[in-house]
Amino acid sequence: QNPINYQKLLENDWREWEVSTLKDIYEDTADVWNRMKLAIANVEINQKKQIAFQKIKERTLLKAKRRKDNEERVRLKLLKKEQRLRFQRLKLEIQGKILNITVITAPPRGLKTTKKSRGHHARFGF
């Protein structure tokens, strides 16, 4: 077994690595790596979620304008959508805990919330 080149790991997209390699790395540096990955992932998730919510918000407001909805209704809608975004992530994290992996989630690209696009956006982190 050759020693792992961490510099190379950082430069590469680790998502494309073989699972066995990832497992070795995980055993090796689980703690530090975990904390680092999670920190990075969390920042990314939060940014993505903000962007995502921004887009959702804009779209909702446009629709509301077309429909001439009142403010209360718009407020409730936005609240619901924000909660859904939160819940989606929580669900994936819980699944991850059960499977004993860290799930790094991001809203689907382009933010379609059709059934199809909802499921498979869990990434295996460490």
In a domain, 71, yes or no: yes
Q: How far apart are CA 25 and CA 6, in angstroms?
A: 9
In a domain, 115, yes or no: yes
In terms of residue numbers, what domain contains 52? 17-124
In a domain, 66, yes or no: yes
In a domain, 49, yes or no: yes
pLDDT top residue among 42 and 61: 61
For the chain, the domain total comes to: 1
In a domain, 21, yes or no: yes
In a domain, 1, yes or no: no
Report which residue type is found at 48.
Answer: K
pLDDT top residue among 47 and 118: 47
pLDDT top residue among 71 and 85: 71
Q: How far apart are CA 115 and CA 22, in angstroms?
A: 30
Q: How far apart are CA 37 and CA 40, in angstroms?
A: 5
Q: How confident is the model at residue 119 (pLDDT cuts 50, 70, 90)?
A: very low
Classified as helix, coil or strand, 89 is helix
In a domain, 6, yes or no: no
Report which residue type is found at 30.
Answer: A
In a domain, 9, yes or no: no
